[in-house]
Chains A and B, each alone.
Chain A
C-alpha cells in the first residue's frame, strides 16, 4: 500500500537526528562557516550515533540496515541543522557505501571495518572535474592498465578532504567505461589544492591533480567486476536532494518565524499576502520535492534503476532550495543580507546543491 507516513522506527530515526542537529550542529554552524572549519567534537558525536555505520554490513561491524530512504531521512535532518556539517558527517559513506555495495571481498575486508570502529573516519570521493560541463559518466580523467597496476591521469574538483582519512575514491575512464579506484591520499603524483568556495565553507574540499598516479589493479572498485556508476550517482543525487530539502526547510522556518515577529505599516509582515503567499509556496514546494525524493529513494531500495527519478528529484530540489533561500533573504529584507542572520548562509549553501554532484552518498 502507498503510505507517506514514516513508521515508528523511521520516526525515531528522524527524531534522534533532529535532536542532534538542534542541540549539537546548529549551535556551532555559524562559527564553522565563519572559521571555515568543522567541529571535531560534533563529528565524533555524530559518529557515535552510527548514522553511516548502521548502513554497513554486519559482518564488518555495521548495523546491516542499508536503505536509501533511511539515508534520505537522516540527510534531511542533518542538513536542516547545517549543510556543511551534514556533508562532513555523511562523508564516510562516500567510500564505505560504494565499497559495501560493489567492492570485492578483499576490498570490503580492508576498507569497511575502519568506518565502523570507535573513531570517526571521513571519506572522500573524486567524481567531478574542474572543467565546464563536467560529466560523471564521461570523466576526462583516464585510467590505463599497466601490468598489475593502473596509472591515473587527470583532474578532479570539489573533493571532500576532511582530516583523518588516508584514501579517496577516484573515478576515471578506462577504455570508455568509468571505473572507481581507491587511491591513497599520499600517493605519488597526487596533488591536492584546497578550494575556497562560495558556500559550504566549513567543509574542506580540494582540487586534485593526478599525474602518473600508480595504484595496484586490486584497487579498482569491484576489482574485475567493476561497479555500477549509474546506481552510485542515483544514490548520490537522492542523498543530495534530501539534504537540499533540509536546507530549504530550515530557511523556510527561519523566514516564517521572522515574518511573524517583524512589523511594517502597523501589522506583522506575515499578514501581508505578498509575504504570506511566498511562505505558502515554499511550504508546498518543499513538501512536493520531499515526496519526489522519497520516491526515488524507495525505488533504489527496491533495487530499481532510479536514475531518472533521482535526477528529477535533485533538479526539483535545486530549484526549491534556491527559491526558498532566496525567498528567505527577501522576507528578511536588508537584514537578510547581514551575516548576523541565517538566510545569507542558507542562500550560499543552497547554491552548492546546484554545483555538487554525488558528493554525499548514503
Chain B
C-alpha cells in the first residue's frame, strides 16, 4: 500500500465516539477535579466502567490498529488528561503485562478489565526517591524465598497508584533488582495485586497539573508475591552478557515503552489540541482569520504564532502515528517512539504556554480551562522518559552508539 493519510472508517467512528465521550463526560467535570485534587471522580469512573468501556463503534472494515488507540487517547485527553489517567483501565501496568507477560499472566491479570466486577486499575512503579531517569539504578530488592519473591523498597510518582494498590482486581507492576551487583541485568518486574500485604499506600502528591490523576508513593515491606507473578525469566544476565531472545527482564520492561511512548505522545497531542482549538474558536469569535495565502512579510505576529502552533501539533501527531503504525507491522519502533514522545512533549508544552499568552487575561484566568491545559501539558515533557532521555535514545540510535558511549 502506498503512503496514505486516509483514516479508516472504523477509526473515524471511534474518533467520533471518544470525542463525544470527552465532550459529555470529561469536560463538564474538568475543573471540579482539578480543584478537588485527591477525590475520586466517581461520576466518570462509574460511567466509564459501566457504559463507556462497553460502548464504542462496531468494526466496519479495516481499522488503523494501533493508530486508532492513539486517536482515542488524543480525544480523551482533549477532554481531560488528568481524568484520562484516572480512568479505570490497565494503564501502564497493563502495557507491561501485555509486552512481557505469558499468556497465562495476561489472562490472570487483564481479564478483570473486561469482566463484570467493580472498577480496577493497573499501574507501573519504577521511579524511586533516588532513581528516576536512571531506572537501572533502582534499589528496591526482590529476594527469593522458595516459590515466592519478597519485595522491599519505596516507589514514588506511581500514576494510578492509589487505585491499583487499593482497589480489588487491580495490580502494580513493581520493578526490583534480584541482584544489586548485576546492574540492569538484575532488574525484574513483579505484578503485585491490589491488597497484597506489605504494599502500603504512603501518600499522594500535590501537583502542578493533571491533578485528577492519583500519583502515589508506595512502600513495600516484606511484600510477598508468587514466582508466577514475575514477568519474564528469573535468570540474571550479567552486565556484558548478550541478552538471549527469551530474556524479558529489563529489556522486556523497556519494550513496554515502545508501546507506551506513542500513547503518551498522543495524550500530549490531545492536550495541545484542546488549547489550540480554543484559541482558534476565540479568534473566530473575534472575526480574526488566519491568512494562509498571505506573503510572509504581511503576516501578523499572531498569524505566525498560530500557524506555528498548528504545524507543530500536526508534526507531533504524525510522528506519533508513524511510531504506532510501525507497531501494526510488528517493526521495532523505539527510535520512532522516542522521536514522537520528545517532539510531542515539547511541542505541546510550548503550544499551551503560547495559548495562555495569546489569550491574555482570559487565558490566565481560571474561568477558562486554558491555564489548566498549560499545567497539564508539562507532564508530557517529563514522564515516560524526560525530553532529554528521549533525545538521548534518539541520539544513540542515529549515531549507532551503545549506552556506554553516550549517557
Residue numbers of A with Cβ under 8 A of B are 1-7, 9-10, 69, 132-137, 230, 233, 256, 259-260, 268, 270-271, 273, 276-277, 279-281, 283-285, 287-289, 291-292, 294-295, 298-299, 307-308, 311-313, 315-316
Q: Are B315 and A292 in contact (CB under 8 A)?
A: yes
Query: Is B310 in the interface zone, CB < 8 Å from A?
Result: yes
Say how far B222's CB is from chain A's closest CB, in angstroms.
41
Q: Are B293 and A137 in contact (CB under 8 A)?
A: yes
* Chain B residues near A132 (CB-CB < 8 A): 297
| 8 cross-chain pairs, A with B, having the tightest CB-CB distances, nearest first | A288-B315, A291-B318, A276-B395, A133-B297, A280-B394, A7-B2, A280-B395, A312-B311
Q: Are B391 and A133 in contact (CB under 8 A)?
A: no
Select which of A4, A271, A279, A311 is within 8 A of B321 by beta carbon: A4
| Contact sample, A vs B, 30 pairs, CB 8 Å cutoff | A1-B1, A2-B6, A2-B8, A3-B1, A3-B2, A3-B325, A4-B318, A4-B321, A6-B3, A7-B2, A10-B2, A10-B3, A230-B293, A270-B406, A273-B388, A273-B406, A277-B388, A280-B395, A283-B398, A284-B319, A287-B319, A287-B339, A288-B316, A288-B343, A291-B319, A292-B318, A295-B5, A311-B293, A312-B311, A315-B307
- Complex CA gap A234/B297 in Å reads 18
- Complex CA gap A284/B314 in Å reads 13
* Chain B residues near A2 (CB-CB < 8 A): 4-8, 11, 64, 67, 321, 325
* Chain B residues near A3 (CB-CB < 8 A): 1-4, 325
Which B1-55 residues have C-beta < 8 A from chain A? 1-8, 11
Which residue on B lies nearest to A7, using beta carbons?
Answer: B2
* Chain B residues near A256 (CB-CB < 8 A): 398-399
* Chain A residues near B2 (CB-CB < 8 A): 3, 6-7, 9-10, 69
Say how far A169's CB is from chain B's closest CB, in angstroms.
19
Given A283-B394, A312-B311: A134 in contact with B319 (beta carbons within 8 A): no
Central interface residue in A5, A6, A279, A280, by most chain B CB within 10 Å: A280
Q: Are A1 and B311 in contact (CB under 8 A)?
A: no
* Chain B residues near A283 (CB-CB < 8 A): 339, 394, 398
Q: Are B4 and A1 in contact (CB under 8 A)?
A: yes
Given A135-B295, A271-B401, A284-B339: A313 in contact with B7 (beta carbons within 8 A): no
Query: Is B377 in the interface zone, CB < 8 Å from A?
Result: no
Select which of B322, B329, B343, B392 is within 8 A of A273 by beta carbon: B392
Q: Mark B378-407, 1 if CB is under 8 A from A, else 0.
A: 000000000010011011001101000110
Say how far A293's CB is from chain B's closest CB, in angstroms.
10
- Complex CA gap A222/B388 in Å reads 54
Query: Is B134 in the interface zone, CB < 8 Å from A?
Result: no
Which residue on B lies nearest to A133, using beta carbons?
Answer: B297
* Chain A residues near B7 (CB-CB < 8 A): 2
Select which of B5, B297, B329, B406 is within 8 A of A271 by beta carbon: B406
Contacts A133-B297, A280-B398, A288-B318 known; 7 new A-B pairs at CB < 8 A: A2-B11, A2-B64, A10-B3, A277-B392, A280-B342, A283-B398, A307-B292
Q: Are B391 and A277 in contact (CB under 8 A)?
A: yes
Query: Is B147 in the interface zone, CB < 8 Å from A?
Result: no
- Complex CA gap A299/B7 in Å reads 12
A interface, over-half SS: helix
Q: Are A5 and B329 in contact (CB under 8 A)?
A: yes
* Chain A residues near B322 (CB-CB < 8 A): 4, 287, 291
- Complex CA gap A62/B307 in Å reads 37
Q: Are A281 and B315 in contact (CB under 8 A)?
A: no
Query: Is B308 in the interface zone, CB < 8 Å from A?
Result: yes
Given A135-B298, A284-B339, A287-B339: A298 in contact with B4 (beta carbons within 8 A): yes
* Chain A residues near B315 (CB-CB < 8 A): 285, 288-289, 291-292, 316
Q: Are B64 and A277 in contact (CB under 8 A)?
A: no
Which residue on A lies nearest to B298, using beta carbons?
Answer: A133
Which residue on B lies nearest to A283, using beta carbons?
Answer: B398
* Chain A residues near B146 (CB-CB < 8 A): none
Query: Is B294 in the interface zone, CB < 8 Å from A?
Result: yes
Q: Mark B318-358, 1 if CB is under 8 A from A, else 0.
A: 11011001000100000010010011000000000000000
B interface, over-half SS: helix
Query: Is B115 in the interface zone, CB < 8 Å from A?
Result: no
Which residue on A lies nearest to B322, using beta carbons?
Answer: A4
* Chain B residues near A295 (CB-CB < 8 A): 5, 314, 318
* Chain A residues near B314 (CB-CB < 8 A): 292, 295, 312
Given A2-B8, A295-B5: A284 in contact with B394 (beta carbons within 8 A): yes
Say how far B385's CB is from chain A's closest CB, in angstroms.
13
- Complex CA gap A295/B295 in Å reads 22
- Complex CA gap A217/B315 in Å reads 45
Select which of B8, B295, B298, B319 is within 8 A of A1 by beta carbon: B8
* Chain B residues near A5 (CB-CB < 8 A): 1, 3, 325, 329
Query: Is B117 in the interface zone, CB < 8 Å from A?
Result: no
Q: Are A135 and B294 in contact (CB under 8 A)?
A: yes
Q: Are A284 and B307 in contact (CB under 8 A)?
A: no
* Chain A residues near B63 (CB-CB < 8 A): 1
Say how far B246's CB is from chain A's closest CB, in angstroms.
30
Which residue on B lies nearest to A355, using beta carbons?
Answer: B296
Say how far A271's CB is from chain B's closest CB, in angstroms.
6
Given A3-B3, A287-B319: A307 in contact with B293 (beta carbons within 8 A): yes
* Chain B residues near A270 (CB-CB < 8 A): 395, 399, 401, 406
Given A1-B6, A136-B295, A291-B318: A7 in contact with B1 (beta carbons within 8 A): yes
- Complex CA gap A295/B319 in Å reads 12
Select which of B4, B308, B391 is within 8 A of A281 by beta carbon: B391
Q: Are A298 and B5 in contact (CB under 8 A)?
A: yes
* Chain A residues near B298 (CB-CB < 8 A): 133, 135
Q: Are A288 and B319 in contact (CB under 8 A)?
A: yes
- Complex CA gap A187/B312 in Å reads 46
Q: Are B3 and A69 in contact (CB under 8 A)?
A: yes
- Complex CA gap A284/B347 in Å reads 12
Query: Is B62 in the interface zone, CB < 8 Å from A?
Result: yes
Which residue on A lies nearest to B315, using beta carbons?
Answer: A288
* Chain A residues near B4 (CB-CB < 8 A): 1-3, 298
Say how far A269's CB is from chain B's closest CB, in angstroms.
11
Q: Are B391 and A292 in contact (CB under 8 A)?
A: no
Which B286-316 residues have C-beta < 8 A from chain A? 292-295, 297-298, 307-308, 310-312, 314-316
